[in-house]
Amino acid sequence: MKHLILCGTLCLATLSAVAQTVEYKNLDFKKDTSQINTLKIKTGSRLGLKISNINKKLYTINNAVTQTSYNETAPGLFDLFSKAKLPGENAASSGFKSEEFKLFTPTQISDAKLPAPVAKKLTELADLYVRNADTLNSNDMRLIAFGETYKEVRNVLRYQMILKGLQNDCDKPFTQLRTQVYDETKKAFLTSTMADEDRNLLETPDYAIIPGVLERYFDKLIETDMRPAYKELSSAFALSKREQLGKNVTKAAALITELIGLIEKEKKTTEPAKEILKTLKGERDNSKLSRLYKDNMEHYTKTDITKLSSDMEAFNATARFEVINDFKYFNEGNWTYIVDPQPIEDDLTVITVNIKAKESVTCSQLMRSYVYKVRPKGGLKIDFSTGLFINYGGNDFKDQTYRYDPIEGNTTQQKIVKNDAKNAIFPSVGALMHIYRRTASDVKLAGAFGLSTRDLERINYHAGASLIFGTSKRFILSAGATLTKATLIADKYQDGQVIDKAGAPETIPTSSFSRFGFFGAFTYNLSAK
């Protein structure tokens, strides 16, 4: 029998678990004001809360949510990148065009009709000018390109600051913030060197693919644009090469002076020769090549490529991942607070969520409170109550006493007579167990089973029905049958029996018998269980 009961209990528990439903009440922090709600939900179900459009970073929720710093400051790298000195966009050639460094063409030298040694030196000078000017211009272009890469990384950090600013916005709903994040992302990389196919992907707001787009762009900046360029610049501006460029500029200046002297010694010069002489004199003092060399060296000195490279490597080591994480922060989970589903089994389940803005947060909505009082409905419930019982029934329901009465004219016999009962009812104090089906009503009909006692020596058993009034504080009226023990005359004797005085016992024998009667009870239960 015990095994059958155990199996039945397990089956009921299993069926109950399978039948359990989980329900969430959805709240919008921006729209739903503080409120107290009373719900009635099927017994055994689970209820949770889902609060949307709340920036959990800026609010303390029930003092139980893991908190993060809301008072964000600019990353150190951003400050570092902001102060870096970069070559100007017009640094190349110091305003000169490449064609200006072609002093003479072979045709001009030939038309000048100068002696062969002079013509040879002119050709050497022209070649020296072009080669060194090309080298200096190329170096400047590399410096500018390196600076542009640096500016792109700095732009990424500006984009990160925008994201951090949006993370601290507690007034806009999540969907609006997410749209703004998409717009800022497109705007930030509109003119960047990001691959066209990746920039096109930014046009379609897909939260899942954008981190990958950013990853590829950051890889390009570092692996393709920065590191090879830094290697080339380090080689191009090596000390030996800078010194050689200086020597070449000095050699060109010396050749110019020498050629001016040689041409002026010619007794007869052609018009093309005179033009060449004019050009040489124009380059003798502060030549374009010397100015280009001076500006090139100045740009190199001001642009600390080693430091810029170090800054970008630092970005690559940590900041690039922080940028992507700042973008990923804008997921619905960070704007949704969930109260895990609670089992609705007790008479009253109260779910309270108190939300308060953290200190120094300038939010228009500083606090809210949501309270859900949930009462179960359906299923069986067992309650207990205690109180006063009134028991009543027929003559045999109550204890009886007996006496001997003399018989008129008969001196040898006497008659057994039952004494009149003075009380038609007797009180007792006891407890009832109530079994009923949960409903939404505050008045419930229940079955009742219980015990009571009058003198702690005799137990009365009760079964009946109850009316339960109230929810957390219950008052119960009950009525039904009572099974009790009553003291009655022993089976050997009976009321009205005539017996001989000689053999009669001094006291009429009695015994205890089980008897049914009725009861009414007023009991109470002041707990919420």
Q: What is the pLDDT of residues 296-336, one digit of tens each?
A: 999 998 888 999 999 999 999 999 999 999 999 999 999 99
| pLDDT recorded at residue 471 | 73
Taking the C-alpha atoms of residue 391 and residue 460, their distance in angstroms, rounded to an integer, is 9
Range of the domain at 348: 22-69+335-376
pLDDT of residue 144: 92
Strand order, beta sheet including 402-407: 402-407, 410-418, 498-500
Number of domains into which the chain is organized: 3
Do 367 and 296 lie in one domain? The reply is no
How far the first Cα of the chain sits from its last, in Å, is: 30
Measured CA to CA, the distance from residue 313 to residue 309 in angstroms comes to 6
> Between 173 and 58, whose confidence is greater?
173
Pick 492 or 522 by higher pLDDT. 522
Query: Which of these ranges, 49-58, 83-92, 323-332, 480-489, has the smallest mean pLDDT?
Result: 83-92
What's the whole-number mean pLDDT along residues 488-508? 80
Whether the per-residue pLDDT at 368 is higher than 80: the answer is yes
Q: What is the largest CA-CA distance in the chain?
A: 197
pLDDT at position 157: 94
Same domain, 311 and 351: no
On whether both 215 and 124 belong to a single domain, the answer is: yes
Q: Are residues 136 and 228 in the same domain?
A: yes
**Same structural domain, 293 and 389:** no
Strand order in the sheet with 22-28: 22-28, 46-52, 336-343
* Structural domain includes residue 88: no
In the chain, what percentage of residues exceed pLDDT 90? Answer: 43
Residue 198 and residue 286 share a domain: yes
pLDDT over 80 (residue 440): no
From 376, 403, 431, give the residue that closes a domain: 376
Looking at residue 25, its pLDDT comes to 79
Evaluate whether residue 80 is within a structural domain.
Answer: no
Measured at the CA of 182, the angle between CA 180 and CA 188, to 5 degrees, comes to 100
Q: Which of 79-93, 163-177, 370-384 is predicted with the least confidence, judged by mean pLDDT? A: 79-93
| Mean model confidence pLDDT for the chain | 83
Say if residue 80's pLDDT is above 80.
Answer: no
Instruction: Quote the DSSP letter at residue 102.
Output: -
9 within some domain: no
Return the SS3 of 392.
Answer: strand
How far apart, in whole angstroms, are the C-alpha atoms of residue 124 and residue 253?
A: 12
CA distances from 483 to 446, 451, 518 (A): 20, 10, 8
- Residues 274, 195 within the same domain: yes
- CA 271 to CA 265: how far, in whole Å? 15
pLDDT of residue 188: 95
Question: What is the SS3 assignment for 377?
Answer: strand
Report the amino acid identity of residue 401. Answer: T
* DSSP-derived secondary structure letter, 66: P
SS3 category, 406:
strand
User: pLDDT: is 383 or 184 the higher one?
Assistant: 184
Q: Is the pLDDT of residue 244 over 50?
A: yes
**89 within domain boundaries:** no
Mean pLDDT of 158-163: 95
**Domain end (from 346, 376, 406):** 376
Q: Which of 29-38, 61-70, 106-115, 435-444 reaches the highest mean pLDDT? A: 106-115
Give CA–CA dist 181/166, Å, rounded: 8
Q: Same domain for 371 and 383? A: no
Residue 454 predicted with pLDDT over 80: yes
Q: Choose between 293 and 502: higher pLDDT.
A: 293
Q: Tens of pLDDT along 274-289? A: 999 999 998 888 889 9
